[in-house]
Structure 1
Amino acid sequence: MVDLERSTPCNKGVTVASQTSSRRVTAADIARSLGVSRATVGFVLNETPGQTISAATTERVLAEARRLGYRPHIAARALASGRSNIVLLVLPDWPIEYSLRENIDEATHALDEHGYALITYTPHEGTRARPLWETLQPDVVMGLLPFSDSLVRSMRDAGVERIVPDPDEVTDVRYNEGGPRLQVEHLRDLGHQRLGFARPSDPRLFELADAREEAAAAAATALGLEVPATLELTPADSEDDPPISKWMNAGITGVVAFNDDVAAAIIGAATRAGIAVPHDLSVVGHDDTPMSLLFEPRITSVRIDSTGLGHYLAALAIHAMDQTPTPDWEQTSAVTLIPRASTSVRPTHSE
C-alpha cells in the first residue's frame, strides 16, 4: 500500500484531498490541512457567535472547505443545534395545480428568508417507503389538512415535536371559502337566480370540492337564493360532454365552477352544444390561472392572493418553531373576483 503522507508532495492541502477523496470531508480534515485547531474550524463552519476569530482566518477556513468539497453533515448538525432548519409540508394526494404550486413557491421563498428549507411530500396509501419525517428530522411537519391519528402516531414515534395543524387542538381549517361567496354574489348581481355548482371529475379533488360547494351553498342561502344544484362533469377520459342542455332546462343560467379548468370544460361543451356563453349561460371560474386568459371567452374568475397564503403557511411554521405571534388568516387570505367575458346579465328569455 502506498503511504500517502510520505509519497505526496509537501502541500498539506493535496495530502488531505488525496486522503479524503473516497470519504466525506470533515472539519478535522480542514483543520489538519490549514494547521489550525479543530475548534477554530468548527466555530467558523457553524457560525458560532461570541468568538474572536479574525476575518482572515475565517476566510481561510471557508476557502479551504470549498476547495476540499466539504459538505455539512445534516444529521450531526441537527443533533448539535437541535434544529435541522427543515419544514416538511405534507400534501394531500391532490394534483399539483397552478394555485397550489404558487402557494408552495411563495411559502418556500418566505421560509428561505428565515433560514428554513421547505420540502414537500405526498404519502400514498399502502406505500412501502419510509415517510420523510423519519429520515429528514424536520423541525416542523405541516399539512393542508388535519392529519389522521395513525400519521400523528408515526410522526410522534419518529420524534417530531411540532405538527401543524396541532392534533391536540380543535382547528378551524378553511380553504378560501371567500372565493365561492364572490362567485355566487357576482352571478346574483347579474340577475341570475338559479345556479349550479360544477364539480371536478378527479376523485383526488373531491374533498376540496366539497368545501367549496358547501361555501357556495352557504353564500346562496345568505342571499336568499336556492342552494346551487350539484353539476357533475363527465370523466376526463370520456368523449361525452356534460348534459348542459339538461341543466338549462332545469332553469340554471349561472354556473359556479370549482376552478378554471372546470369552467373551461363547461364553456367548451356549451359551445359544442350550440349554447352561447355568456348570452345563454354565465360561467365563473376559480383560481384565476393562465387558462382564464387563454380561453375564449375569457373566464371570469376568482383571484387568490398566493403571496399572502404562502406567507401564511410560512408564518404558521415559524410560529410553531419560535413561538412568534399566530398569523392572522383573514389578513392573508384575500380573494378578488376578476370579471371577464364569460359572465353577463341574466338572459330575459329564461324568465
Structure 2
Amino acid sequence: MATKRVTAADVARAVGLSRATVGFVLNDTPGQSIPEPTRTRVLAEAKRLGYRANSAAQALASGRSRIILLVLPDWPLDYSMRTHLDEASLALDEAGYSLVTMTPHPGGQARPLWETLRPDVILGMEPFTPEQLAEMRAGGVEHIFPPAAASDDADSLGFADGPRLQVEHLLARGQHRIAFAGSGDRRLAKLVAERQELAAATLRAATGEDFAHASNLDETTASDAVERWVHDGVDAVVAYNDDIAALVLQAALRADVAVPGTLAIVGHDDTPLARLLTPALSTVRVDNAGLGRYLAALALSAVNDGPPPVAGPETEARLIVRETT
C-alpha cells in the first residue's frame, strides 16, 4: 500500500500556522520576514513528519530546476574524465545542485535532456552546433557554455601546454628522432589529432622537423610499430595518453629495447597506471579534480549572476619526470 505523501498543508496543520507562512519557510522564499523561532519550528516539524519538497513544484515556483546539464562528446570515460566529473558533481551537490550528463550519439533518436529537464545551465565539453544552440535557447535555457558555436581554442585553459611539455622535455634530453603514438579509438580521433598537432608545432618551431613517425596504436599494432620505429632510428615517443604510452613501453620491453636508454617515452594525464608501471612512466599531470571544481564554479556563477571564475593553477599542466625518460 502506497504511503501518503506529506504536504506543506500537513506541516501547516501540525504547527498551527497558515499554509502561506509554512510555504515561505519550506521554499526559502526570498523577501519574506519570518521570525527565526517560527522558521526553526516549521523545519523541525517538517523533518519529523518526513516532508520532502516537491521538486517539480519548487522549480515551477522559483523558475529554477537546480540541475546543471553537462553535454559530453562521445568519448570513453577514462580515469581523467571520471575524476573530472566526480569532482564537479561533488562541488555542485554541496551547493544544492545536481549534475546530469548526456552524450548525443550520431543518428541517436533520444530526446535531448535539455528539452525534458529544463536545466538552469548547460555546459559543453565542445562548442555546440548552431542547431543545438537554437534548440536550447528556444527551450528557455539562458545560461549556455560555450555560448557560441565557435572554433575550439585549445589553449583557453592551458590545454596546449601538455603536448608542448612532452616535446620540450625530450628535446632537452637530446632526443632527435621523435615519434607520436596516438590512440586507435575512433571516438578520440579529434582529440588525438589536436594533441598531435600541438606537439608537432612545438617540434617544428624548435627543430624545423616534424615527427619521424606518427601512428595510432592498439594492442594488435603496437609491437610492430615500435620495432619499426626503433629500426628507423626513433629514440623517443610522445604518447597521446598514459594508456598508449603503456602499450609502447610493453612493446619495447618485449623487444628487448632499453627504456629510456634506446627509447624514451612520455605519456599524458598522470593516471595511477603511470606510477605502477616498471619502469615508472614520465608523463604530464593535469589537475582533473581542480578542473571539475572550476567547471562547477562556472555553472554556479551563471545561476547566481556573478562574474565567471578566474582560471587558476588547476588549469596548468605539469611535467612529471619518472623512469622512462
Give the TM-score normalised by the residue count of structure 1: 0.83
2:251 counterpart (246, 262, 269)? 269
The partner residue of 2:307 within 325, 343, 348 is: 325
Say if 2:206 is the partner of 1:223: yes
Corresponding residue of 1:44: 25
Count of aligned pairs between the two proteins: 323
1:273-320 C-alpha deviation (Å, 9 max, x unpaired): 221211110000100010001111100010112243223322332343
Structure 1 CA distance, aligned partners of 2:213 and 2:136? Answer: 38
Which residue is equivalent to 2:287? 305
Report what 1:132 is aligned to.
113
Counterpart of 2:211 in structure 1: which amino acid? P
8 A Cα contact 1:85 1:116, kept in partner: yes
In 1, Cα distance between the equivalents of 2:55 and 2:212?
53
Match of 2:79 among 98, 105, 116: 98
Deviation at 1:204, TM superposition (A): 1.1
Single out whichever of 226-235 and 257-266 deviates more from structure 2: 226-235
Q: Which amino acid aligns with 1:79?
A: L
**Alignment gaps of 5+ in structure 2:** none
- Contact 1:140 1:161 (C-alpha < 8 Å) held by counterparts: yes
- Deviation readout 1:130-159 (Å, 9 max, x if unpaired): 222122211110011011233223323322
Counterpart position of 2:194: 211
Match of residue 161 from structure 2: 178
Mapped contact 1:139–1:162 kept (Cα < 8 A): yes
1:58 paired with 2:39, answer: yes
C-alpha separation between the residues in 1 aligned to 2:178 and 2:186? Answer: 23
Question: How far is the alpha carbon of 1:244 from its aligned partner?
Answer: 1.0
Q: Deviations over 1:30-77 (max 9, x none)?
A: 223333210121111112345443444333322332343322222221
Secondary structure at 1:130's aligned position in 2?
A: coil
Structure 1 pair 177–239 and aligned structure 2 pair: CA distance change class (3 A): closer
CA deviation after TM superposition for structure 1 residue 90, in Å: 0.9
CA contact (8 A) 2:222 2:248 kept: no
CA 1:302–1:225 in structure 2 vs 1: closer, same or farther (change >3 Å)? farther
Q: Secondary structure at the match of 1:66?
A: helix
* Aligned counterpart for 2:229 among listed residues 235, 247, 251: 247
SS in structure 2 at match of 1:141: strand
Measure the CA separation in 2 of the matches of 1:22 and 1:128. 37
Q: Secondary structure at the match of 2:167?
A: helix
Q: 2: distance between equivalents of 1:289 and 1:42?
A: 49
SS at match of 1:28: helix
Of structures 1 and 2, the larger Rg is shown by 1
SS at match of 2:233: coil
Q: CA RMSD in A?
A: 2.4
In structure 2, what is the Cα distance between the partners aligned to 1:202 and 1:169? 25
Task: From 193, 199, 202, give the equivalent of 2:176.
Answer: 193
Match 2:273 to one of 285, 288, 291: 291
Q: Deviations over 1:108-142 (max 9, x none)?
A: 33334444332222222333332221222111100
Shift of the 323–250 alpha-carbon distance from structure 1 to 2, 3 Å rule, reads farther
With over 3 angstroms needed to count, the CA separation of the structure-2 counterparts of 1:30 and 1:291, relative to structure 1, is same
Correspondence list, 1:133-172, <5 A: 133-167=114-148, 172=153
Match of 1:94, SS? coil
Given that 2:154 and 2:160 are in contact with CA atoms closer than 8 Å, whether structure 1 keeps it comes out as: no
Corresponding residue for residue 259 of structure 1: 241
Q: 1:293 to 1:305 in 2, by over 3 A?
A: same
Equivalent residue letter for 2:178: L
Percent of paired sites with the same residue:
51
Q: Secondary structure at the match of 1:243?
A: helix
Q: 1:31 to 1:290 in 2, by over 3 A?
A: same
Q: Distance in 1 between matches of 2:201 and 2:250?
A: 28
